[in-house]
Amino acid sequence: MNYRFRLRVAAKQEGKFAFDARVTSLNLTDELILDLVARNADTLAKATAFHFEAGGFACEELARLAGERLRLRLRLLNAILGLGINVPIGDSTSGSVSTAIKETALKDHDAVAIDSVWGLTTFPDDGRHFEYVFGGNLNVRPSDPSYVMTALKTVWGLDVHLDQSSEEALQILGLATLESSEKAAFLTSYLALEQLIQRKVRSAQALELVARFQRHVSKASRRKRAPLIKSDAASLAGSLAALTEESFPSALRRFAARLSEPKELKGRPLRSFLSACIDARNRIAHHASLDPAIPLNDLAAGLREFVLGLIWMRNQMPALSIAIPPSAVTAPAGTIAMRVL
């Protein structure tokens, strides 16, 4: 018996895969054909829920391995292209029909209803297994939607192995593409960068000074007369513990000073760009007013580019070039229906 895999992804807006068909296919290799299927609309262009599917695998393990390979490469493309799709890193059951309905489908149609899984699922490739999907389509779209499929074919052959910090940064960067708020997208991208910059432990003299402050806090919390309240003591202890390492801005500036490339990001020298990011992050964190001239979208886009460059460098991945077409704008329209997939 052969097996298939199905990997669900989603988007907040329609038009992410702007094909005027319910299914489009891609020959990833001579043997492997990948289908992209709309789940909550009659065409991919109007859908916000999708799944990628392929079959013909000799066993369930091979089907799952191929699905996991696709999941990682979609996460990379999501960060590279800023697609704004949600590629789940885990798997969970998101929907199921009753046992009675499953029994009726099996008895009357010799068909096996499978549960809906948010993420990756595998099932026999026998033409009998199907999924009930109930949903609707709740719209900037690319003028040439095939660029995503072309890009997927490009990255399919890459040898991709990410270290743990890169994995975490890629996951956070993918979440940043889902944010509709400029501020949230910028802060999330900044957090992704933090995963890749190593902070140095402070000098022995600085550590001794921090330890001295920690002892003072401990004594103040235990004294009988006007003791420091527990919440203040815990807060101060935590803040002092964080001082054993250099601050992230210091580590980032030190790291950037060693880089020869890139020389610029978004039209600014690299160090000037990163300083603008640090300043914007600090202003947001301390509820200070932002300069209206600060282009948070540009800062977030530049951070995404910088983080991806660091991931490529850390994991010694080959150079990659992907063409992105201009966008087309259309008015949204949606329907709600029960579908069998």
Query: Given pLDDT bands bounded at 50, 70 and 90, which one contains residue 338?
Result: low
Contact 127, 49 (CB under 8 A): no
Closest CA to 36 of 14, 57, 3, 9: 9
Q: Name residue 70's amino acid.
A: L
The Cα–Cα gap between 277 and 255 comes to 15
Q: Where are the beta strands (DSSP E) in 144-282?
A: 264-265, 268-269
pLDDT of residue 138: 41
Q: DSSP for 93-136, please give it.
A: EEE---HHHHHHHHHHH--EE--EEESEEEEE-SS-EE-EEEEE
Q: Which amino acid is at 165?
A: S
Position 330 scores a pLDDT of: 58
Where does the pLDDT of residue 23 fall: very low under 50, low under 70, confident under 90, or very high at 90 and above? very high
Give the Cα separation of 125 and 184 in Å (integer): 42
**What is the per-residue pLDDT for 341?**
67
Q: 219-246, pLDDT tens digit by residue?
A: 888 888 888 888 888 888 888 888 888 8
Higher-confidence residue of 333 and 203: namely 203
In angstroms, rounded to a whole number, what is the distance separating the alpha carbons of residues 279 and 296?
11
Residues paired with 264 in a beta bridge: 269
pLDDT at 226: 83
Q: What percent of the chain has pLDDT over 70?
A: 92
- β-pairing, 327-329 with 140-142? antiparallel
Q: Which residues of 200-218 are buried (b: 16+ CB within 10 A; e: fewer)?
A: eeeeeeeeeebeeebeebe
**Sequence ranges of the domains in the chain:** 3-160+320-340, 162-200+247-316, 204-242
Q: What's phi and psi for 301, nearest 5 deg?
A: -65, -40
Contacts of the segment 318-324: beta carbons below 8 A, 24+ positions apart: 318/158, 318/159, 320/80, 320/154, 320/155, 320/158, 322/80, 322/81, 322/147, 322/150, 322/151, 322/154, 323/147, 323/150, 324/81, 324/142, 324/147
What is the C-alpha separation between 120 and 5, in angstroms, rounded?
7
pLDDT of residue 63: 95
Q: What six digits make up the tokens of 89?
A: 């890193």
Q: How confident is the model at residue 71 (pLDDT cuts 50, 70, 90)?
A: very high
Helices (H) and strands (E) in the chain, counts: 10, 16
Distances in whole angstroms, Cα of residue 169 to Cα of each of 97, 131, 307: 37, 34, 8
Mean pLDDT of the chain, nearest integer: 86
Residue 340, SS3 per DSSP: strand
- Cis omega (within 30 of 0) for bond into 262: yes
- pLDDT exceeds 60 at position 322: yes
In this prediction, residues 79-86 reach a mean pLDDT of 87
Beta bridge partners of 10: 49, 86
What is the mean predicted confidence (pLDDT) over 71-77? Answer: 93
pLDDT in tens, 146-199: 888 988 998 898 888 899 999 999 999 999 988 877 888 999 999 999 999 998
Percent of the chain with pLDDT over 90: 41
What pLDDT shows up at residue 292?
A: 64
Main-chain dihedrals φ then ψ at residue 257, nearest 5 degrees: -65, -20
Whether 137 has a pLDDT exceeding 50, the answer reads no
Pairing status of strand 129-130 against strand 112-113? parallel
Task: Please report the pLDDT score of residue 293 as a whole number.
Answer: 63
pLDDT digits 0-9 by tens, 149-164: 988 998 898 888 899 9
Distance CA 23, CA 44 (A): 7
Q: Is residue 335 predicted with pLDDT exceeding 80?
A: no
Q: Considering the entire predicted model, what is its pTM?
A: 0.70
For residue 47, give the 3-state DSSP assignment: coil
pLDDT the model gives residue 217: 84
Phi then psi for 35, rounded to 5 degrees?
Answer: -105, 135
